[in-house]
Amino acid sequence: MLISLMHSSLEPFFYGIVIFLGLMSMVWKLRTAQWLAFFAEVFVFWLVFSLHGDCMTGGFGATIAALHSGRGIPVMLRSKS
């Protein structure tokens, strides 16, 4: 008898990976004292997550947006025009 423990969808698996990467990114920024990047990431995650009604898709999008903003906002503010 073949028993399959796999869900019908892989979305929760990828959701968990992305949330884990977001948390590790925040921990890394705290440990290395990258305050601007950390607070940008937290703020964007909170903003997007609250706008999307606390759903799984909103959390996924919020985490990806936060990862991008935690990397991009400090670079944009440091660049000289």
> Which positions ≥6 away from 18 have C-beta within 8 Å?
60, 63, 64
* Average pLDDT over the chain, rounded to an integer: 83
Predicted confidence (pLDDT) per residue in 54-80, tens digit: 777 888 888 888 888 988 888 888 876
With a cut of 70, say whether residue 2 has pLDDT above it.
no
- Could you give the C-alpha distances from 2 to 5, 6, 10, 39, in angstroms and in order? 10, 12, 20, 48
- Spatial separation of the C-alpha atoms in residues 13 and 78, rounded to whole Å: 36
pTM of the model: 0.74
Q: What residue type is assigned to position 38 of the chain?
A: F
Residue with tokens 């999008």: 61
